Amino acid sequence: MNVKLSTAVRQAMAVALIAELDADVDPAYVEFYTGTKPAGPGTAITSQVKLGTLPCSATSATATAGVVTFAAITQDNAADDDGTATWARFYDGAGVAHSDYDVTNEAGDGAIKLNTTNIVAGGPIAMTSLTITMPGA
What does the pLDDT look like over 22-36, one tens digit per residue? 999 999 999 999 999
> Quick one: pLDDT at residue 17?
96
Q: How many independent structural domains does the chain possess?
A: 1
Domain housing 99: 7-133
72 found inside a domain: yes
1 found inside a domain: no
What does the pLDDT look like over 60-110, one tens digit per residue? 999 999 999 999 999 999 999 999 999 999 999 999 999 999 999 999 999
| Model confidence band, residue 2 (pLDDT cutoffs 50, 70, 90) | confident
More confidently predicted of 52 and 135: 52
**Which residues are CB-neighbours of 95 under 8 A, at least 6 positions away?**
none
120 found inside a domain: yes
Report the predicted TM-score, pTM, of the whole model to 2 decimal places. Answer: 0.93
Torsion of CA 47, 56, 94, 116, to 10 degrees: 0
Q: From CA 22, how far away is CA 61, in angstroms rounded?
A: 9
2 found inside a domain: no
**Average per-residue pLDDT for the chain:** 96
Q: From CA 46, how far away is CA 106, in angstroms rounded?
A: 27
25 found inside a domain: yes
Query: In the sheet that 112-114 helps form, which strands lie side by side, from edge to edge?
Result: 50-55, 29-33, 87-91, 97-105, 112-114
Tell me: pLDDT of 137 over 90. Answer: no
